[in-house]
Each structure stands twice: as structure tokens, then as C-alpha cells.
Amino acid sequence: MNKSWVYVGLTCLFELFWVYGFNVASSWWHWVIIVGIILVDFHFLSKACEKLPTGTVYAVFAAVGTAGTALMDVVLFAADFHLQKGLFIVLIIIGVVSLKLADNQDEGEVG
Amino acid sequence: MGWLLVFLAAVSEIIGVVGLKMYSTQKKNAVNTLLFVGGFGCAFALLYASFQFLQLSIAYAVWIGMGTAGGVLVNMIFFGESRNMGRIISVVIIVAGVTGLKAVSV
């Protein structure tokens, strides 16, 4: 169970690496590295889904990717930060935490 | 045209999630690998194509909302994943968050 969440963390981290790559790639061999990172990322994604519900893993993957990309744009690529962005990021975090709690509760009920 | 591409991109993403489920919990055979990698690959290609017709943030917001919600629903309906109220509410919150965030990001 905990090991699977390590895979969730890794797949989210590698997702941010390739999104960063998309932003900075400027020659063909950069894209070779990016494709490699995507394949490693997909490997972690599938490992995470072996023990956790795929719906949960995928929702967290999409959530962290979206919030992380928005923050990356602000911190590294000088995008504007405004209140609406911050509020939606907080909403995403609330959703992820509550999804994890809901799954834990479910596991408790089953066994 | 743009919306059709976004819709097809979301459908491809859901196919990718089905492939992900089967690849990780059933067999790592050619069909499941193709559904998994091909589904996500097509999703990105179609989404990228839609940017020619639609504003990037709007296309991305609609795609990620449909794809995330669809991915979770397909797993609940066809693969018997838990449908407890807490999970459903959490996914609705996440979909609202990712869609809203993409919509306000230019």
C-alpha cells in the first residue's frame, strides 16, 4: 500500500520533468531524452496501478500534473500568478487529499 | 472541428486509462501495451491538433476535465472500482479544480 504511493509520487515527479522538457527542448536529442522520461513515467504509472485503484492513481496523476505545471509556469517561466489560480490549486489539493482519505476508509471497510 | 478533436482526444485518453488498467492488473501483452501507450499518444496528438482551432487553455481545460472524469467513471463502471460517495465527491472536486485552473491559465 505505502510502496504503491511511492510509485504515485514518482510518476507525478517524472510527469513534471517531461512537461519541463516540453518547455525547454530546442534540439532533436532533447526530444530523445523527453521520450525516455515519458516511458519511465508510464512505467511508474503502471506500477502504481498494480495495487491501487486505477481511477485514484489517474486522478492524482492529472491533478498533480495540472497544479505542478501551473506552479512551474509561475516560478520558472514568469507566468502571472493571480488569486483565481491559487484558489483552483487549493481546490485540487483538497480533492486529492479527500480522495486518498476515501480510499483508506474503503480499505478499512473491506478488510 | 476544434471541439471534435478535443472530444476525440478525451476518448483516446479514456482508452489509454483502460489500457493502463489492463496492462497493470492483467497481462502485459501487446494489445494492452498498445491501448495504454497508443491511447495516451493519440490523446496528445489530437489535443495538439486542436490548438490550431481553439485557445490552448480552453482546449486543455475541457480535455483534462473530460478525460479525468471519464477515466475514473470507466474504472468504476467496467472494472468494479469502489463507488463510495467520498470517492465520487473527491473526483468531482479534482475535475472542477483542474478544469478551472486550466481555464484561467493563459
The pLDDT of residue A111 is above 90: no
* Distance from C-alpha of A97 to C-alpha of A50, rounded to nearest angstrom: 21
Burial class (CB in 10 A: 0-12, 13-18, 19+), A16: middle
**Chain B residues inside the 8 Å CB shell of A99:** 86-87, 90-91, 94
The closest alpha carbon to A96, from B87, B50, B75, belongs to B87
A109 pLDDT above the threshold of 70: no
Nearest residue of A to residue B71, measured between CA atoms = A55
Nearest Cβ partner for B21 among A49, A88, A101: A49
Min Cα separation B71/chain A (Å): 6
Predicted TM-score (pTM) of the model is 0.89
Residues B13-43: tens digit of each pLDDT: 999 999 999 999 998 899 999 999 999 999 9
Distance separating alpha carbons of residues B85 and B83, to the nearest angstrom: 6
Q: Which of A57, A64, A66 to mutate to test the interface with B (most CBs of B within 10 A)?
A: A66
Q: What is the pLDDT of residues A30-77, one digit of tens each?
A: 999 999 999 999 999 999 999 999 999 999 999 999 999 889 988 998
Q: With bands split at pLDDT 50, 70 and 90, how would you rate the model's confidence at A106?
A: confident
Does the beta carbon of B70 lie under 8 angstroms from any beta carbon of chain A? no
ipTM of the complex: 0.89
Question: What CA–CA distance (Å, rounded) separates B57 from A57?
Answer: 24
